[in-house]
Amino acid sequence: MLTKKRQRQYLTEKEQRWLQELVIFDESRDEKALHRLRLEVKKIRALVELATVRSGKRAAAHFSGLKQMFRKAGVIRDAGSQVRFLEERHLLSEGHRDRQARSIQAAGDTFAAHIHQYRKKGKKASKRLKTEMQTIHARRVLRWYAGEIIGTGLLLGGAGNELHQARKKIKTMLYLQKVLPAAITERVKLNTDYLDALQEAIGQWHDAVVAMADWAEENPEGKRAVNQECLDKEQVVRTLAAEFQRKVHLT
């Protein structure tokens, strides 16, 4: 079983880490700190999704105190990722680069101005979540994983946002492997290497698609090249996804 003590300890650990990243960003404006902050919040969200098998919607409601911080950090992260993607392919004009840099800096300053609010709401959310946690028996965890695997398989047959949603489910399942007792993970038997390769392929494809969707500069040759890159990355995803039912579990 996944005890409430283990869940509370996990939430405390994640809270300490995202609070630390808030301080780092406030002092340095380092986008990597926001990436790490979002990673810790994603791990909290993963546990919340599992916790709903016992608490219904209450845990999800408490998590809402972290959502604004998570989303605002994501806007900055996505903008920075787009700039890096285009720069690596020499597709970013100096003017566009400067405009994006100013926009990212302004968003970072706005985020920093609300850090006190984010910290206050986030700590309150964490406190409520820890109060809400209840022991989850192994059979409930196994049923939850079975449902997530079925849902992921269906999403992998889709396109666009469905693939992105499939990646979220995969990452949630992988994050939870870190908090579950070994006795449960041995029964789930997830092929973590395969799933990590699949979610990474979807992530690379999604980053390319998002970068191109927001790129307005006229560069026919560059657009053709990146459009082909998007197609190539999608094919990698399709090839991996075709083996999902066979490879999702260790044999």
Which position has the token pair 């992988």? Answer: 174
Residues facing residue 136 across a β-bridge:
2
Indicate whether 24 pLDDT > 70.
yes
Q: What is the pLDDT of residue 21?
A: 97
Q: Is the dihedral of CA 6, 10, 15, 16 positive or negative?
A: positive
DSSP letter (8 states) at residue 89: T
Helix axes 94-113, 4-28, angle to 10 degrees: 120
- Report pLDDT digits (tens) over 35-63: 999 999 999 999 999 988 766 677 888 89
Indicate whether 213 pLDDT > 80.
no
3-state class of 57 per DSSP?
coil
Distance (Å, whole) CA 186 – CA 149 = 16
Note whether 116 and 22 are within 8 A (CB).
no
Indicate whether 22 pLDDT > 90.
yes
Tokens of 163: 């693939």
The H-assigned helical ranges of the chain are 4-28, 31-55, 58-88, 94-113, 115-132, 138-156, 161-176, 182-188, 192-213, 220-241, 244-247
- Report pLDDT digits (tens) over 214-228: 676 777 787 888 889
Confidence of residue 4 (pLDDT cuts 50, 70, 90): very high
Q: Say which residues have a Cβ less than 8 Å from residue 209's Cβ, sequence separation at least 6.
A: 230
Tokens of 237: 């995803």
Note whether 65 and 200 are within 8 A (CB).
no
Size (the chain), residues? 251
Side-chain half-sphere exposure of 227, counting CA atoms within 13 A:
6
Q: Closest by alpha carbon to 69, among 101, 4, 25? A: 25
Tokens of 82: 């787009």
- Report pLDDT digits (tens) over 88-141: 888 888 888 888 899 999 999 999 999 999 999 999 999 999 998 999 999 999
Distance (Å, whole) CA 227 – CA 231 = 6
Tokens of 199: 């979610």
Q: What is the pLDDT of residue 119?
A: 95
Q: How distant, in Å, are the alpha carbons of 78, 89, 106, 127, 211 from that of 84?
A: 10, 9, 18, 37, 9
- Report pLDDT digits (tens) over 178-211: 999 999 999 999 999 999 999 999 999 998 888 8
Distance (Å, whole) CA 28 – CA 33 = 9
Q: Closest by alpha carbon to 179, among 57, 59, 4? A: 4
